[in-house]
Amino acid sequence: MTKDIATPARTKEILKKYGFSFKKSLGQNFLIDTNVLHRIVDHAEVGEETGVIEIGPGIGALTEQLAKRAKKVVAFEIDQRLLPILSDTLASCTNVKIIHEDVLKANVRQVIEEEFKDCKEVMVVANLPYYVTTPIIMKLLEDQLPLKGIVVMLQKEVADRIAATASTKEYGSLSIAIQYYTEAKTVMTVPKTVFIPQPNVDSAVIRLLKRDKPAAEMQNEDFFFELMRASFAQRRKTLMNNILQQYPVGKAIKEELEQQLNDAGIDPRRRGESLTIEEFAKASDVLYPLLKTK
Ligand code: SAM
């Protein structure tokens, strides 16, 4: 049996064999620690009935470990130079399919429908390219794909913002946008030394489990997101001042806005960063008639 791809020696051997040079612009930092990979697969709870979507297989370090436990793995890779390498390194993994495509442009729904018909659940598991972590996660969630969840390696600083709770300095529109759809938890922090080349920042693995329905109900989802983003526009300002900045209204409406917020149990002098998702939902319901229909 050949050695795992994710060892420093085997990775260097593969890179040398193909004369591969890393492209920083594609976020290419490959994992060289099998232990870390096993733990990622464990956190994703990948089993015999699981279909896995991987984003950016690189030379196949994570793909190989996923293939051992999953029913099937479909991986999107943007860099054409990696395709011949992958068909070599993953030659014995018969349940892996590589798609040469930018995941941000891909029709992921169609791939799920076509490739995972006989799987019980679908998970996204990846060591993400760091220059596009947020757009990739938001695409997967906003498209309302039939996923069980997402377990991905990303910058620790982004993981902290995603999993943050109200009234912390990391809490913001990203925390809400993602926690609206999922339960988010950082499950591992990872040192720079397990990558080649080493990234400039610390890394973490985050687990996002899709909720059956979004974390709060409101009458107008677009306005909920608009109001929430406006409330974080200037973090040091009060909720009311941020709202007035975004929606300039006269004195009478301003007083009505304050009244409505107070009646909903939300002090307009609070800062946006102290509001939970449910409170933003409540605020959006009471403010919508005043800010959007007048
Ligand atoms: N999975 C491998 C590992 O853990 O060693 C490589 C991870 S590396 C951080 C990110 C990978 O994503 C690279 O192989 C890169 O070429 C690929 N990539 C970058 N942007 C992409 C995109 N938009 N769509 C698909 N793959 C992309």
Q: Where are the domains of the chain?
A: 8-210, 221-291
Residue whose CA lies nearest to ligand 1 atom number 12: 56
Q: What is the DSSP letter of 105?
A: T
CATH annotation of 221-291:
1.10.8.100
Distance 2 CA to ligand 1 centre (A): 23
CATH annotation of 8-210:
3.40.50.150
Distance 257 CA to ligand 1 centre (A): 47
Q: Which residues pair with 283 in a beta bridge?
A: none
Binned at pLDDT 50, 70 and 90, residue 27 comes out as very high
Residue whose CA lies nearest to ligand 1 atom number 1: 57
Alpha-carbon distance 241 to 38, whole Å? 48
Distance 83 CA to ligand 1 centre (A): 12
Ligand 1 atom closest to residue 23's alpha carbon, by position in its atom list: 16
Distance 139 CA to ligand 1 centre (A): 16
Pocket test for ligand 1, best of 26, 108, 111, 124 (most atoms within 8 A of CB): 26
- 20 ligand 1 Cβ < 6 A: no
What's the pTM value of the predicted model, to 2 decimals?
0.95
Alpha-carbon distance 93 to 81, whole Å? 20
Per-residue pLDDT for 3 more than 90?
A: no
Per-residue pLDDT for 72 more than 80?
A: yes
Per-residue pLDDT for 293 more than 80?
A: no
pLDDT single digits (tens) 77-89: 999 999 999 999 9
Smallest CA-to-CA distance from 153 within 270, 263, 36 is with 36
